[in-house]
Amino acid sequence: MSLEKEEIRDIEQVKELIKSYPDFPSEGVLFRDIFPIFQNPSALDCLLNNLVEQALEFAKKQGSIKIDAVVGLDARGFLFGPTLALKLQAKFVPVRKVGKLPGQTIKFTYVKEYGQDVMEIQADAILKDEKVLIVDDLLATGGTCSAAENLVSQLGATVVLNQFVIELSDLKGRDLLTAPIYSILSFGAWIHHLKKVTESLRFRIVRDDTESQTAISGLGRRVGQLDAGQTENAEYQGTKPDQSPHVRLAS
């Protein structure tokens, strides 16, 4: 019997369901597909229960017996956030890209590899002194989650834990985050794919496009630094370890 149809009760079995697709959706990209987990109800339930257990454990360590709000990051954080909030008997609050939320909002601008992005949260969604859990499918460069931490802080609340299904440890996204981090699965052996993309882009950029050339050169230096560094254990690292379950240059 395949794992897709098997009754799954162990988080290690859940990890086995995640599939990898080299060179998808384009050459040099290693796509981590989490959707097979959603095809097995017992696997999804096991994953969510694991996240709940870790959330309650971290909240207890910080002197709180309850998590008041679960913040899901646009967009795959919405796959886990509502159900996780239900299991924790907490409210669900979305953090979205600018222009997607009605009413009064709080905004935060952060820098990405190729420019800036803006995330926002509804101003009345989280109350002062509430305990908050942030969840997303992937921790890559950490920019989006760091923005969410800032938004929660602006509202006077406290992030007790950041949770992810997958962490790309080579990108060291956890270095940007201030709250403790829990990720179920860590991947680090993808640098060679990013190298291929960087080298390919160098030949595709028009020679007189100075801005693009500068960006690619900066990316190349960053890849070299990452390749020379050591990967970290994704689980139970405290302060400082896509948005999508895949490696993209724009993440």
pLDDT in tens, 187-242: 874 554 555 555 555 545 444 556 555 555 555 555 555 444 433 333 433 333 33
Q: Tell me if 191 sits within 8 A of 223, measured CB to CB.
A: yes
To the query of whether residue 76 is one of the catalytic residues in this protein, the response is: yes
Higher-confidence residue: 46 or 215? 46
pLDDT higher than threshold 60 for residue 47: yes
Catalytic residue, from 12, 53, 96, 113: name it.
Answer: 113
Beta strands in 83-173, from DSSP E residues, in sequence order: 91-97, 105-112, 115-122, 131-139, 158-168
pLDDT single digits (tens) 18-32: 999 998 888 887 889
Whole-model pTM: value is: 0.75
Of 8-17, 38-47, 147-156, 196-205, the one with minimum mean pLDDT is 196-205
Catalytic residue, from 32, 76, 96, 174: name it.
Answer: 76
Give me the mean pLDDT over the 101-120 stretch.
Answer: 91
Give me the mean pLDDT over the 47-74 stretch.
Answer: 91
The pLDDT, as a whole number, for residue 122 is 98
Domains of the chain: 11-188 (3.40.50.2020)
